[in-house]
Amino acid sequence: MNAVEAPAHTYGGRLSPMAVRRLIGVWLLVLLVDVVAVIVMTHLTFDDGLDRVFSGDAARFNEYQSAADTFIQRENDVVVVFEANDLADDGLLEAIRDFALEAQFLDDVVAISSIFALQRWDGDDPGTLIPAELPEASDLRQLLSDLRVTTGGPGHLISEDHKATAVVLSYPSAPFDSAVAAARIKAATDLAAEAVGAQSIKTALTGAPLLRIETINGLFDDLLRLNLIGIAVGFIVCAVALRSAALAALTTMPASTALMWVMGSFPALGQAINMVTVAVPVLILVLSFADGLHLTFETRRLVREGYAVPQAVFQALRRVGPACVLASVTTAAAFLALSFSDSDLVASLGHAGILASLVGLVAVLITHPMLFLSADRLGLLEPIFARSGDVPAIESCNVFWRWGLRRHRVVVVGSIVLLAVAGFGYATVTPQYTLLENVDRQSSPAQTLETLNDSLLPVWSIDVPVPLGGAVISPGDVALMERIAAVLGAVAMGGIVVSPLDLAKAGDADRAMTARRLDRALSGMPESQRGRFLSRDGRTAMMRLHVPDRGASENRRLTLALEAALADDPQIAEAGADRATGLLVMAGFMSERILRQLNICFLIAVGLSGALVALWFRSVSFGLIALVPNVLPIALIGGALSLTGVGLHVASAVSLTIAFGLAVDDTVHVLNRLKLETVPGKRFELAAIETSLRKVTPVLVITTAVLAAGLLGSFMSDVPSVRFFGFLAIAAFCLAIVADVVVLPAWLRACGERFGSGALRLKR
């Protein structure tokens, strides 16, 4: 052990008057920052980040943007679904029609789609299929059944069994604003309730705005829940591990301060809480808990060895502090790697994470010594230390590293094989994404979406822009759209084709009449409605295949199959109508691209962490060895995701990269302890490895327990991606501790033997 001298600012084992004044100054500074953080925290903003998940210079994204600029988009549509035992029963449909009429007077509504707007043509005259005076129930049932047959895709606005119908409220294309959307949804909900009155009709709303608000509300709840549970669980684990509630409280306070400062820094730097950044505060909380625990354990150990408390506090800071700094820097490096992503959302997580890691570190390194010195000044700390104890069960964890050291060759070879196999699995994992991955599937909007998918017209669609021959729709254009509709219907069994042709069903009439009707129908529409079928310049029509979102890989497969079938038709190919786009298509392909990028981000994180460790300890061998026990857990989880067919989602890829950055922390503390136990310039002896592991393993087990347990709150999240994020992070932490106490010791010993006495030697 290195000799320890009393710091200059202590006096006879107590703080000097100057140090006390400084301590008071630090308190005032910390309290000031706390107040500012709390004030700024009230300005936290929440968004689901959907607008920023996908971006980048890729053909699929550019095509999506081009279509979004050319056509009126449907992303703000709200769908109201009415359900009853039989909508043909007396008065029910009348109430729903009243809603469809009155809904046009709701603020911002620009168009309404419903079965009441479905047209029939009498020559060139359009009329509504459902008459003003509704027929008797039996005739009405027949009429409703005919709608699905005679009107094509839009006829699916009523279910085959007449138990459900949908009314689509369209709003202007504009960037999503949750407050505006919430007001629109409330108005529509109130009007629907008023329209159905006491009738036995169930109403429910869905659509992208509701799903996004659902996500945002979930994020707000999650932020509170994750962090409150994180603090509570962290405190309990500390209290159990330290066998002292008071010591646990002293360790919890720096972590809570770090959390407060991090959350205060978000609005100060314009960072919103979204579906990926929501986990950052709790990650920093648990990381700060871990840092605080290392400092607490070291301080208590030094006090037990006979140091005065002030000396022990400063000495602990000097000995463990650098490891805490390196741990935070490696975590920040993992976040830095994410900032290289094309996805604005992922990059914003990277930026937020870097900031949070560093802010959290500063908070812990300032407040931990401050609290312990203050408690000692008040005469509280020595009795607290005296009453605290160790948990014998944790000591039994030493069996793992002993086994790892004893069987080091087997463990090293085994870890290499495992790494290769799991790494291969990870490399072949299928990228996955669904537009619903941030929405609770049991929520009303998600359930209503399922009703639409199962019985009515699915909200999502694969879109095919169709270049037209001229400014006026010609019989040739009609023929082309008919061919495309046939291809879409044939390839996507179960998909529902919605096209401009639905506006001008000519029955057995000729295409010239259809073209004439179509021109008339479109010209009679307001721009907000016409722009959904026809581009702003009138040169391109949009045909849509409405399908449920079955996940990115299935959507990619269907898109490619559609495009191949369209390209097989010479007339379609010649017209340039063989390329699909839309949100489903773009998200399907861009999620694949972004997930591939995230894998590169992970490799960057690995490289950065290894380089940082090597630089810090001035040993390339350390840098390389540090990677093995940390890459292995991530590779194992990635392999499991591949093997089970779950695939890799944005949340899981991000979670694994961050978990890697956090897991490196344990390795850093092992190596730091080894450094402390070794005379610089000398080779590591087996005894030094054993001593280091004996001292550090219990702390690592406890900090891992804090890390894992602190994220348990994620299991209570309403947001599925947050639940999965937490699950994967916890799995990574648990595997990482096993790797740190089994694999790392084996590699340390094996490398020492393999490369000779100079291989694992720290420079002075």
Partner 1 sequence: MKRALNILLLTLATLAAGGGLAAAQSGLAGLDGSWTGRGTVRATPTASAAKAYCKVALSETAPGRSWSIDGRCADTRRSATLGVTIRQTGPRLSAHLSTSAIGERVAFSGEGNASAMTLASTAPVTIDGRRYRSNLSIRRVGTERFSLVVGMADGSGGNTRVADLVFERTR
Contact call for residues 667 and 740 (beta carbons, < 8 A): yes
Encoded one letter per residue, x for contact with partner 1 by CB under 8 A and - for no contact, window 456-495 reads ----------------------------------------
**Residues paired with 683 in a beta bridge:** 761
Which pairing describes strands 496-498 and 540-546: parallel, antiparallel, or unpaired?
A: antiparallel
Q: Pick between residue 368 and residue 517 the one whose CB is nearest to partner 1.
A: 517
| Beta carbon of residue 600, minimum distance to partner 1 (angstroms, whole number) | 50
Encoded tokens for 33: 């920052």
3-class state of residue 237 by DSSP: helix
Structure tokens at 480: 């082309």
Nearer to partner 1, 16 or 119 (CB): 119
Query: How near is the Cβ of 100 to partner 1 at its closest, in Å?
Result: 6
Q: Is 687 exposed, middle or buried (0-12, 13-18, 19+ CB in 10 A)?
A: exposed
Q: At what angle do helices 686-710 and 650-676 cross, to 10 degrees?
A: 150
Residues 400-429 that bind partner 1 (CB under 8 A): none
State which of positions 568-607 bind partner 1 (CB under 8 A).
none
Closer residue to partner 1 in complex, CB, 133/136: 133
Residues in contact with partner 1, shown as a per-residue x/- string from 167 to 206 under the rule CB under 8 A:
----------------------------------------
Taking the complex as a whole, how short is the minimal distance between the CB of residue 194 and partner 1, in angstroms? Answer: 12
Q: How many residues bind partner 1 (CB under 8 A)?
A: 26
How many Å apart are CA 214 and CA 440, to the nearest integer? 8
> Shortest approach of partner 1 to residue 101 CB, angstroms?
4
Between 125 and 177, whose beta carbon lies closer to partner 1?
A: 125
Identify whether the C-beta of residue 542 lies closer than 8 Å to the C-beta of residue 464: yes
Find all residues with CB under 8 Å of 3, minimum gap 6, and list them: none
Handedness of CA 125, 131, 135, 138 (dihedral sign): positive
Q: What share of the chain is helix, strand, coil (3-state, %, to 5)?
A: 65, 10, 25
The interface with partner 1 within residues 93-112 (CB under 8 A) comprises: 97-98, 100-102, 104-105, 111-112
Non-local (6+) Cβ contacts of 146 within 8 A are 129
CB of 105 to partner 1, least distance (A): 5
Q: What is the 3-state secondary structure (H, E, C) of 686-753?
A: HHHHHHHHHHHHHHHHHHHHHHHHHCHHHHHCCCHHHHHHHHHHHHHHHHHHHHHHHHHHHHHHHHHH
Tell me how far apart the alpha carbons of residues 343 and 431 are, in angstroms, rounded to a whole number. Answer: 15
Using CB under 8 A, which of the segments 92-100, 300-308, 548-556, 596-604 binds partner 1? 92-100
Least separation, in Å, of the C-beta of 132 and partner 1?
A: 4
H-run or E-run covering 555: helix 552-568
Closer by beta carbon to partner 1, 115 or else 741: 115
Q: How far apart are CA 534 and CA 501, in angstroms?
A: 12
Tell the smallest beta-carbon distance from residue 152 to partner 1 (Å).
17
Looking up tokens 């080894």 gives 674
Which CB, 368 or 505, lies closer to partner 1? 505
Closest approach, Cβ 187 to partner 1, in A, equals: 14
Closer CB to partner 1, residue 97 or residue 761?
97
Closest CB 218 distance from partner 1, rounded Å:
35
Residue nearer to partner 1 on the CB measure, 102 or 690: 102
Residues within window 514-543 making contact with partner 1, judged by CB under 8 A? 524-526, 529
Cβ-based nearer residue to partner 1, 188 or 751: 188
Q: Give the residue carrying structure tokens 């043509």.
A: 121
Q: Considering the complex, state which of residue 125 and residue 382 has its C-beta at the smaller distance from partner 1.
A: 125
> Which positions from 116 through 135 interact with partner 1, judged by CB under 8 A?
116-117, 119, 122, 125-128, 130-133
Task: Output the smallest distance, CB 131 to partner 1, in A.
Answer: 6
Q: Do residues 315 and 307 lie in contact, with contact meaning Cβ atoms separated by under 8 Å? A: yes
CA–CA distances in Å: residue 759 to residues 247, 620, 748: 41, 10, 10
88 touching partner 1, by CB under 8 A: no
Minimum CB separation of residue 544 from partner 1 in Å reads: 19
Nearer to partner 1 (CB atom), residue 132 or residue 198: 132
Alpha-carbon Rg for the chain in angstroms = 32
Residue 234 or 531 with smaller CB distance to partner 1: 531
Query: What is the maximum span of the chain, computed from C-alpha positions, in angstroms?
Result: 105
The CA–CA distances, whole Å, from 497 to 151, 200, 521, 542 equal 11, 32, 19, 11
List residues near partner 1 by CB under 8 A: 97-98, 100-102, 104-105, 111-112, 114, 116-117, 119, 122, 125-128, 130-133, 524-526, 529
